[in-house]
């Protein structure tokens, strides 16, 4: 009898622990999405220093990793988490959750609050991302993105580079050198928001309904290009 009661008690403790973990994972992921919204809105409202409209309009996917350093990165660090969305015939996809690690970040130890934005620019990069494993080798696969409303970057970098990267530190945006990193699906965050495991490809291809908790992020991604167009038109009139 005592043994049975002990087993039941252990099972109950395990269930409570699992539920607590699930609740915590969901809260963390929802918070990450809100921080990603803040990053996108901030970068698009930065006069003369935002992502150029022509870059955003050509991007096939947007990946946002908020609080890169606070998320566990130092020089040569190993782990961070972010949110991604890709263009579909019906608009931007539901969010897919990514983990990113490894590589040389081109950052200095001691920098706080670095946010990362990655734009997937061509079909090759898109297919690599959809495969649930995008490796940024630096050999034509990743480059620091051009800054400013009117980019002086040639068409080669926009057409041939798989991923353009941007960072924000203390409110200032700049291109970021990011080589050797690997972007993969974050399964824990996926289950926390969708309630089950879902294939990365299915989410980013538009085959998943957007949860209510993710509406703000999808709207921020959708609004980013429109904000860039308005900012550039305003600049042209000045």
Place of tokens 């934005």: 117
Q: What is the reported pLDDT for 9?
A: 40
Tokens of 68: 């890169």
Q: What is the reported pLDDT for 36?
A: 94
The answer to whether 71 touches 79, Cβ cutoff 8 Å, is: yes
Q: What is the reported pLDDT for 149?
A: 59
Q: What is the reported pLDDT for 158?
A: 65
Q: What is the reported pLDDT for 56?
A: 85
Q: What is the reported pLDDT for 17?
A: 40
Residue 1 belongs to a domain: no
Residue 22 belongs to a domain: no
Q: pLDDT of the chain along its 238 residues, tens only?
A: 555 545 444 443 343 343 343 458 889 999 999 999 998 888 777 656 678 878 888 899 999 998 765 444 444 444 678 999 999 999 999 999 998 876 555 544 454 557 889 999 988 888 988 887 788 776 667 777 777 655 555 556 666 788 888 877 765 656 566 667 788 899 999 999 999 999 999 999 999 999 999 999 999 999 886 665 455 444 444 5
Residue 3 belongs to a domain: no
Residue 5 belongs to a domain: no
Residue 196 belongs to a domain: yes
CA distances from 116 to 149, 173, 196, 236 (A): 19, 9, 27, 28
Residue 8 belongs to a domain: no
Report how many domains make up the chain.
1
Q: Which residues form the domain of 222?
A: 27-237
For the chain, give the DSSP string. -HHHHHHHHHHHHHHHHHHHHHHHHHHHHHHHHHHHHHHHHHHHTSTTTS--HHHHHH-SEEEEE-STTTTT--TT---EEEEEEEEETTEEPPPEEEEEE-SB----TT----EEEEEE-SHHHHHHHHTTEEE--SSSSEEEPP-SSS----HHHHHH-SEEEEEEETTEEEE---BS-EEEE-HHHHHHHHSS---HHHHHTT-SPPPGGGHHHHHHHHHHHHHHHHHHHHHHH-
Q: What is the reported pLDDT for 70?
A: 42
């Amino acid at each position: 009898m005592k043994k049975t009661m002990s087993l039941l008690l252990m099972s109950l403790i395990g269930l409570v622990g699992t539920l607590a973990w699930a609740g915590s994972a969901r809260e963390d992921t929802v918070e990450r999405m809100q921080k990603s919204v803040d990053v996108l809105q901030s970068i698009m409202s930065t006069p003369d220093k935002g992502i150029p409209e022509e870059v955003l309009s050509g991007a096939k996917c947007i990946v946002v990793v908020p609080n890169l350093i606070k998320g566990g990165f130092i020089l040569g660090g190993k782990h961070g988490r972010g949110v991604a969305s890709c263009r579909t015939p019906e608009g931007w996809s539901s969010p897919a959750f990514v983990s990113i690690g490894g590589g040389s970040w081109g950052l200095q130890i001691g920098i706080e609050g670095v946010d990362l934005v990655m734009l997937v620019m061509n079909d090759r990069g898109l297919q690599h991302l959809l495969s649930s494993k995008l490796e940024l080798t630096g050999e034509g696969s990743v480059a620091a993105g051009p800054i400013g409303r009117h980019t002086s970057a040639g068409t080669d970098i926009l057409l041939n580079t798989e991923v353009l990267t941007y960072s924000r530190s203390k409110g200032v945006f700049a291109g970021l050198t990011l080589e050797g990193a690997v972007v993969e699906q974050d399964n824990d965050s996926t289950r926390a928001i969708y309630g089950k495991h879902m294939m990365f490809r299915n989410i980013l291809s538009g085959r998943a309904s957007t949860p209510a908790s993710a509406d703000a992020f999808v709207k921020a991604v959708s609004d980013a290009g429109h904000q860039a167009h308005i900012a550039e038109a305003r600049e042209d009139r000045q």
